[in-house]
Amino acid sequence: MRILRRPLWVACLAIGTAVPMVSAAEANAAPTAGTTGITGITATVQIGRVTGDALTVRFTARNMSASTVDVLSRDLSVLAVTRDGVPVPYRGKLIKYAAPTAADYIRIPAGGTYAVTENLADDYDLSQPGTFTVAPASTQVRATRAATVRTTTGIRQSRRTAGAAPATTERVTAAAGAVTITYRGCSSSEKTAIKQAVGDAATMSTKSQSWLAANPSGGGAYTTWFGTYSSSRFSRVTSAYSHITSELTSKTVTLDCTSDEDYYAYVYPDDPYVIYLCNAYWPAPATGTDSKAGTLIHESSHFTVNGGTDDHVYGQTAARQLAKSNPANAVDNADNYEYFAESR
């Protein structure tokens, strides 16, 4: 999961809420408001407490329309944060979500509100003083009327899990070299699946590199997933797969099986090469679309040392559209790397 910015919330991004120096003992700022792209929903971000290690914001979505709306909660809670006009990188979990189910929607009755409080210091580096802005941000805010009521929402729970699950380490020799896999809290069947997935993902990434080397002007599958050719975008993609291949064939990769979340997986981008595998991961096919191996490509692309992708959109349809409409974001979007690699 990740910072999402763009079309639907452009109006909000322009506003932002100024916070005078994060190091200030305490401060309050006026709320930021904007529309969400869903008719009748208005979003507000209100700055609460600001200290050296806390920047609490309260996010509120108010349904101003005359009818009930069901909104995908994960789309509403994503924020854009800037310091002195420069985006502050998100450093919390980057999650690959499973397809939303009815339970992932929150129901906001006509005139009602949905609110959540977050401490931005959990997910953003606020150690440098400056003027911060916080605004709602999202590329996709999805709503449906056919969902069930949800009373609690889980958003970006940050804070790394302290404590260590029992770890075992195994050195796996692959064709291209040797990767060391460390398992945290994995059962023997999970270890078997992981070992297979790491090998499959290494093969996918290697084949992606070969394909790009053979098609130095892009076209074909490159255009499908990364859009119109430009030399800088093409080299970013090439570099990412090169780093991912190196990770999966020669580094120490840690797979953590202790999560009980209904995601596929998540990582902390600045913590290579630790990948947390969650409930939706295990039933996924070994290879092909949204597979175990492909998920490892997705997550690995997030690591800053591999090039540091974001999650602008999720899913094949949205990823294809992004390649057409915004190639710069497509080459920065984890699912696009996954889908290109899964089709090699």
Smallest separation (angstroms) from Zn ion to the CB of 335: 7
The residue among 6 and 96 lying less far from Zn ion, judged by its C-beta, is: 96
The residue among 120 and 334 lying less far from Zn ion, judged by its C-beta, is: 334
Active-site residues, by number, are: 299
The residue among 253 and 334 lying less far from Zn ion, judged by its C-beta, is: 334
Of 55-63, 154-162, 209-217, 331-339: span binding Zn ion (CB under 5 A): 331-339
Q: How far apart are CA 227 and CA 326, in angstroms?
A: 8
Smallest separation (angstroms) from Zn ion to the CB of 42: 28
User: Which region holds residue 315: left if phi is over 0, alpha if psi is between -120 and 50, else beta?
Assistant: left
**The only residue of 57, 94, 120, 181 in contact with Zn ion, by rule CB under 5 A:** 94
Asked whether position 240 contacts Zn ion by CB under 5 A, the answer is no
- In the chain, how long is the greatest CA-to-CA distance? 62
Strands 131-136 vs 19-20: parallel, antiparallel or unpaired: antiparallel
Other CB atoms within 10 Å distance of the CB of residue 47: 22
Q: How far apart are CA 295 and CA 15, in angstroms?
A: 35
Asked whether position 70 contacts Zn ion by CB under 5 A, the answer is no
Of 87-95, 126-134, 202-210, 222-230: span binding Zn ion (CB under 5 A): 87-95
Inter-residue contact 265 to 309 (CB < 8 Å): no
**The only residue of 311, 332, 338, 342 in contact with Zn ion, by rule CB under 5 A:** 311
Asked whether position 184 contacts Zn ion by CB under 5 A, the answer is no
Q: Which two tokens stand for residue 127?
A: 């150690």
Asked whether position 334 contacts Zn ion by CB under 5 A, the answer is yes
Across 237-267, b (16+ Cβ under 10 Å) vs e yields: bbebbbbbbbbbbebebbbbbebebebbbbb
**The only residue of 74, 83, 96, 233 in contact with Zn ion, by rule CB under 5 A:** 96
User: Which region holds residue 85: left if phi is over 0, alpha if psi is between -120 and 50, else beta?
Assistant: left
Q: How far apart are CA 44 and CA 22, in angstroms?
A: 20
The residue among 96 and 233 lying less far from Zn ion, judged by its C-beta, is: 96
Smallest separation (angstroms) from Zn ion to the CB of 160: 17
Inter-residue contact 202 to 176 (CB < 8 Å): yes
Smallest separation (angstroms) from Zn ion to the CB of 259: 14
Of 14-22, 38-46, 96-104, 138-146: span binding Zn ion (CB under 5 A): 96-104
Q: Which two tokens stand for residue 234?
A: 């093409």
Smallest separation (angstroms) from Zn ion to the CB of 311: 4
The residue among 95 and 116 lying less far from Zn ion, judged by its C-beta, is: 95
Under the rule (CB under 5 A), what is the footprint of Zn ion? 94, 96, 311, 334
